[in-house]
C-alpha cells in the first residue's frame, strides 16, 4: 500500500471531490426511504401540503444522486488513471536504470506483465476504491443506523440476517477457493495442450496422433468443465440463499410490527423504509465481500510492483569523471564470472589482451562462455574476480557514456525497433546524415537491399522487424553497430545468417573502413575468423588457446576438434 501513497497524494484534489460526491450519493440513497416514510405519514394524516413538499424533495434528492454519481465516476477515473499512468511511468524509468542482470532476474516477459496487467489491477482497485470502498461501509453503517432509528426493537433481526449471510459466505468461499485453484491448473493444462498441438500440428498429423491428442485434450477439458460446473452450483446456492434470508428477515419484521402495532402505530408507515434499509444492508454485505476478494488480488499486484521499485541496480557507474575517447585495447586480467544463481562459474580465470585495431576471433562449443566473455567487455555484467580493462582503464571506473561510445555490440538475434531504418540508426548516432548511413550500410553489405526499398532509409521497420529476412536483419544490426565508428565492435555470431560471400565482404569492409577499430568476432564457423589476428579458444569457461589459425591448427587439440568437424567440407573436392 505504501507504494501508492505518494501517487494518491498527487491527485489529492480529485480524490477529495470523488469522496465528497460519494458522500452526497450515500446521503441521497439513504435519505430517500426516510423521505418516503414522511410522505406515507402525510398520506395517513391526509396532509396534502406535506406530500407536495416532501415529494418535491424526493425529486431533488434523486437528481442530486444522479449528478453526484456522475461526478464520482469522473473524479474516481481521474485519480485512478493519474495514479496508474504515473506509476507506470516511474516503473518504466526505474526498469531503465536496472542492469541487464537485474532484468534477466525478473525476465523480460515478467517485467512486461508487471507494467501492463499489474498496473491495470491497481488502476481498477483505485477506481473501485473511490467509487465503492467508501460507499459500502458508509451505506452499511448508514442503513444500519437508520434501520435502528426506524424500529429500534428489531435490532436483532438485522444482526441475525447478517450473521447468517456472512456465515454462509464463509463456508461457501472456503470451498470455492479450492475450486478456483483447481480451475487455474486445469485452464493451464488445457491451454498448454492447445498450444502444443497448434505449434506441432505437422508433428501430430505426420505421426497420425490426432485421436490420441483428442483423447488427452478431452480428458483435460472435461476436468475443467467439471470444476467450473461445481463452482456454478455453489453460486447457484449462494445468491438465492442470501435473498431468501433477507426476505425472511422482512417477513419477521412485518410480523413483529403487527404484534406491537397498538403500541407503535406509526410503524405502519415505517415498514417500507425499514425494508429498504434491510435490502441496502444486504447489498452492502454482498458487495463488500466482492470488494475484499478484488482488493486481495490488487494487493498481490502492488507487491509485485514494489519488488521492482525496491530493486537496486546491481551495477553502478561512476558519475564523476570525464566522458573520454578511449583507444580500443582490451585486457582481461584473471577474470572469473558466475551467472547469478549458477553454482559453477561460466568463465574461469581468463586472461588475455588485445591491441587496438586488431581482429579477435572467439571460438568454442555452445556453452563454453563466448558470449559471456563478450558481454563482460560491454559491461553487461561485472566479473566475480579479476579485471576487464578497455584502453587500459578498469571498465568499472568508466562513466556509462564512455563505455557505450567505445563499445558497439551486435547480437546474433538482431533486435531492431519498430519505426524506420533511419530511426534505428539515428538512435545510436543522432547526427547521422544520409551519406553517413550509406557508408555504414555499405560496410554491412546492407546498402544493396536498402537501396531497393521504395523508401530506402525511411523504409518502415515493423514490430519484431518482421518485414526483413534473417540475413537482412543481421546486416541492419551491423549497420547500426558501425555507424558511430566505435573503438570496439563486438560481433556476437552476428553474421550467422549471411552467406559466405557477404560475410567475407563485411569483413573486408571492416578492415578497410574501420582501421582503428578492435573487432571481436564470436563465431560457430571457423571460416568466419580465419582472418583474425588472434583467435581465443574457449572450452568450458577456460581459455585453452590463443593464436592464429595456423598456430592453433597445429598445436591446440580443442581447436583441432572443432576444425575437424568443419574440415569435412573440404574433403569433397
Partner 1 sequence: MKDLKNAGRYYAHYFKKYRLGFLVASLMIAFSTWCIVVAPTYLGEAVKELTSYLQLWGNPATRATANFDAFHRTLIIYILLYVGDASTIFIASLIFARISAFATGTMRIGLFRKMQRMRVQYFDRHSDGDILARYTSDLDNIFNAMNQALLEVFLAVAQFVGILIMMFRENTTLAWVTMASTPIALIVAAFVMKKAGTTVDRQQDDIGRLNGYINEQITGQKVIITNGLQQDSVRGFQGYNETVRKSALSGQIWSGILNPLMQGMSLLNLAIVIFVGSWLALSGTMSQGAALALVVVFVNYASQYYQPIISLTSLYGMIQLAITGARRIDEVRSQPDETRPVNGKDLTGIDHDLVLDDVHFSYLPGKEILHGVSLQVAKGEMVALVGPTGSGKTTVMNLLNRFYDVDSGAILFDGTDVREFDLTALRAHVGIVLQDPQLFTGTIADNIRYGDPEASMARVIDAAKQANIHEFIESLPEGYETTVSDEQSVFSAGQKQLMSIARTILTDPQLLILDEATSNVDTVTEAKIQAAMDNVIAGRTSFVIAHRLKTILNADKIIVLKDGTIIEEGSHDALLKENGFYAELYHNQMVFE
Count interface residues toward partner 1 (CB under 8 A): 158
Instruction: Say which DSSP state 420 is in.
Output: E
Q: Which of 365, 453, 505, 546 binds partner 1 (CB under 8 A)?
A: 365
User: Using the rule CB under 8 A, is 323 a contact of partner 1?
Assistant: no
CB of 225 to partner 1, least distance (A): 3
- Interactions with partner 1, residue window 34-73 (CB under 8 A): 36, 39-40, 42-44, 46, 48, 51-52, 55-56, 58-59, 61-63, 65-66, 69-70, 72-73
442 counts as binding partner 1 under rule CB under 8 A: no
Long-range contacts of the stretch 464-470 (C-beta < 8 A, 24+): 465/414, 465/415, 465/416, 465/418, 468/416, 469/497, 470/497
Applying CB under 8 A, does 400 fall inside the site for partner 1?
Answer: yes
Applying CB under 8 A, does 311 fall inside the site for partner 1? Answer: no
Q: Does residue 103 interact with partner 1 by CB under 8 A?
A: yes
- Which of 351/505 has CB closer to partner 1? 505
Site string for partner 1, 447-476 (x = CB under 8 A): ----------------xx----x-------
Angle at 85 between CA 84 and CA 86, to 5 degrees: 95
Residue 432 touches partner 1, criterion: CB under 8 A? no
User: Between residue 501 and residue 520, which ones bind partner 1 under the rule CB under 8 A?
Assistant: 501, 503-504
Q: Rounded CA gap, 374 and 517, in Å? A: 15
In the complex, least distance from residue 468 CB atom to partner 1, rounded to whole angstroms:
13
CA–chain centroid gap for 302, Å, is: 12
By C-beta, is 1 or 70 nearer to partner 1?
A: 70
Q: Which residues of 453-482 are buried (b: 16+ CB within 10 A; e: fewer)?
A: eeebbebebeeebeebeebbbbbbbbbbbb
Write down the least CB distance from residue 145 to partner 1, Å: 20
Residue range at the interface with partner 1 (CB under 8 A); choices 154-162, 442-450, 500-508, 533-541 = 500-508
In the bound state with partner 1, the residue whose beta carbon lies nearer, of 5 and 93, is 93
Q: Which of residues 407-426 bind partner 1 (CB under 8 A)?
A: 407-409, 411, 415, 417-418
Please tell me whether residue 568 binds partner 1 under the rule CB under 8 A. Answer: yes
**Closest distance to partner 1 from the beta carbon of 381 (Å):** 11
Which residue is listed with cell 580500443? 328
The radius of gyration computed from the CA coordinates of the chain, to the nearest angstrom, equals: 36
Rounded least distance, CB 406 to partner 1, Å: 11
Distance between CA atoms of residues 296 and 299, nearest Å: 5
State yes or no: residue 366 binds partner 1 (CB under 8 A): yes
Q: Per rule CB under 8 A, is residue 93 in the interface with partner 1?
A: yes
Q: How far apart are CA 36 and CA 38, in angstroms?
A: 5
Closest CA to 493 of 549, 560, 409: 409
Q: Which is nearer to partner 1, 343 or 568 (CB)?
A: 568
Give the strand pairing for 385-390 and 330-337. antiparallel
DSSP 527: G
- Cα(496)–Cα(412) distance, integer angstroms: 7
By CB under 8 A, residue 431 contacts partner 1: no
Q: Which of 163, 261, 300, 434 binds partner 1 (CB under 8 A)?
A: 261
**550: CB partners within 8 A, 6+ apart:** none
Q: Does 526 bind partner 1 (CB under 8 A)?
A: yes
Q: In whole angstroms, what is the distance from residue 42 CA to residue 46 CA?
A: 6
Q: What residues from 164 to 223 belong to the interface with partner 1 (CB under 8 A)?
A: 190-210, 212-214, 217-218, 221-222
Instruction: Indicate the SS3 state at residue 233.
Output: helix
Closest separation between CB of residue 193 and partner 1, Å? 7
DSSP H helical segments within 493-556, as ranges?
Answer: 500-513, 549-555
Quick check: 433 binds partner 1 (CB under 8 A)?
A: no
Closest CA to 483 of 475, 495, 473, 471: 475
8 A C-beta contact, residue 523 and residue 554: no
Residue from 237, 292, 300, 324 touching partner 1 (CB under 8 A): that is 237
309 binds partner 1 (CB under 8 A): no
Q: Of 155 and 235, which has the nearer Cβ to partner 1?
A: 235
Question: Counting contacts by CB under 8 A, is residue 269 touching partner 1?
Answer: yes
266 binds partner 1 (CB under 8 A): no
Give whichever of 268 and 456 is closer to partner 1, judged by the CB atom. 268
Strand 460-461 to 419-420 pairing: antiparallel
Closest CA to 436 of 492, 479, 379: 479
| Using rule CB under 8 A, residue 13 touches partner 1 | no
User: Closest Cα to residue 328, out of 354, 358, 356?
Assistant: 356
DSSP 539: E
- Of 118-157, binders to partner 1 (CB under 8 A) are 127, 131
Interface region with partner 1, contact rule CB under 8 A, candidates 74-82, 331-339, 438-446, 513-521: 74-82
For residue 314 the three cell numbers come to 546491481
167, 177, 258, 557: which one contacts partner 1 (CB under 8 A)? 258
List, as one string, the DSSP characters of 234-251.
Answer: HHHHHHHHHHHHHHHHHH
Amino acid at each position: 500500500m505504501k507504494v501508492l501513497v505518494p501517487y494518491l497524494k498527487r491527485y489529492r484534489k480529485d480524490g477529495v471531490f470523488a469522496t465528497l460526491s460519494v458522500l452526497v450519493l450515500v446521503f441521497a440513497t439513504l435519505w430517500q426511504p426516510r423521505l418516503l416514510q414522511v410522505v406515507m405519514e402525510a398520506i395517513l394524516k391526509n396532509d396534502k401540503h406535506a406530500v407536495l413538499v416532501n415529494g418535491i424533495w424526493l425529486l431533488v434528492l434523486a437528481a442530486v444522486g444522479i449528478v453526484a454519481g456522475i461526478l464520482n465516476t469522473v473524479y474516481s477515473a481521474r485519480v485512478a488513471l493519474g495514479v496508474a499512468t504515473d506509476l507506470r511511468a516511474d516503473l518504466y524509468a526505474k526498469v531503465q536504470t536496472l542492469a541487464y542482470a537485474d532484468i534477466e532476474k525478473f525476465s523480460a516477459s515478467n517485467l512486461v506483465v508487471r507494467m501492463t496487467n499489474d498496473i491495470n489491477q491497481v488502476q481498477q482497485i483505485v477506481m473501485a476504491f473511490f467509487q465503492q470502498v467508501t460507499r459500502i461501509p458508509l451505506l452499511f453503517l448508514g442503513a444500519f443506523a437508520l434501520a435502528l432509528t426506524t424500529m429500534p426493537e428489531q435490532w436483532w433481526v438485522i444482526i441475525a440476517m447478517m450473521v447468517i449471510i456472512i456465515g454462509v459466505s464463509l463456508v461457501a468461499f472456503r470451498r470455492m477457493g479450492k475450486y478456483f485453484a483447481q480451475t487455474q491448473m486445469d485452464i493451464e493444462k488445457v491451454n498448454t495442450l492447445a498450444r502444443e498441438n497448434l505449434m506441432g500440428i505437422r508433428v501430430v498429423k505426420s505421426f497420425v496422433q490426432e485421436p490420441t491428442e483428442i483423447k488427452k485434450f478431452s480428458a483435460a477439458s472435461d476436468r475443467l468443465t467439471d470444476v467450473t460446473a461445481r463452482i456454478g452450483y455453489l453460486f447457484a446456492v449462494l445468491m438465492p440463499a442470501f435473498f431468501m434470508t433477507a426476505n425472511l428477515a422482512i417477513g419477521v419484521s412485518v410480523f413483529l410490527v403487527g404484534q406491537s402495532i397498538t403500541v407503535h402505530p406509526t410503524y405502519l408507515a415505517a415498514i417500507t423504509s425499514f425494508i429498504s434499509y434491510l435490502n441496502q444492508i444486504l447489498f452492502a454485505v454482498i458487495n463488500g465481500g466482492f470488494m475484499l476478494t478484488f482488493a486481495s488480488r490488487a494487493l498481490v499486484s502492488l507487491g509485485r510492483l514494489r519488488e521492482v521499485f525496491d530493486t537496486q541496480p546491481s551495477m553502478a557507474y561512476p558519475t564523476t569523471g570525464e566522458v573520454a575517447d578511449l583507444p580500443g585495447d582490451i585486457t582481461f586480467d584473471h577474470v572469473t564470472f558466475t551467472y547469478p544463481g549458477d553454482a559453477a562459474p561460466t568463465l574461469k580465470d581468463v586472461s588475455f589482451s588485445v591491441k587496438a585495431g586488431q581482429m579477435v576471433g572467439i571460438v568454442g562449443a555452445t556453452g563454453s562462455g563466448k558470449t559471456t566473455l563478450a558481454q563482460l567487455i560491454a559491461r553487461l555484467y561485472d566479473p566475480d574476480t579479476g579485471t576487464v580493462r578497455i584502453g587500459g582503464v578498469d571498465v568499472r571506473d568508466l562513466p556509462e557514456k564512455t563505455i557505450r561510445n567505445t563499445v558497439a555490440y551486435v547480437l546474433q538475434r538482431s533486435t531492431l525497433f519498430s519505426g524506420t531504418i533511419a530511426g534505428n540508426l539515428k538512435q545510436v548516432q543522432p547526427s547521422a546524415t544520409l551519406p553517413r548511413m550509406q557508408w555504414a550500410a555499405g560496410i554491412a553489405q546492407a546498402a544493396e537491399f536498402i537501396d531497393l526499398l521504395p523508401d530506402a532509409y525511411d523504409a518502415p521497420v515493423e514490430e519484431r522487424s518482421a518485414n526483413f529476412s534473417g540475413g537482412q536483419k543481421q546486416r541492419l544490426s551491423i549497420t547500426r553497430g558501425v555507424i558511430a565508428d566505435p573503438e570496439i565492435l563486438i560481433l556476437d555470431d552476428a553474421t550467422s545468417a549471411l552467406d559466405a560471400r557477404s560475410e567475407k565482404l563485411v569483413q573486408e569492409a571492416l578492415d578497410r573502413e574501420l582501421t582503428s577499430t578492435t573487432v571481436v568476432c564470436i563465431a560457430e564457423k571457423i571460416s568466419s575468423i580465419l582472418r583474425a589476428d588472434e583467435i581465443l579458444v574457449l572450452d568450458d569457461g577456460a581459455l585453452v588457446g590463443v593464436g592464429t589459425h595456423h598456430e592453433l591448427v597445429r598445436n591446440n587439440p580443442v581447436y583441432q576438434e572443432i576444425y575437424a568437424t568443419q574440415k569435412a567440407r573440404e574433403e569433397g573436392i
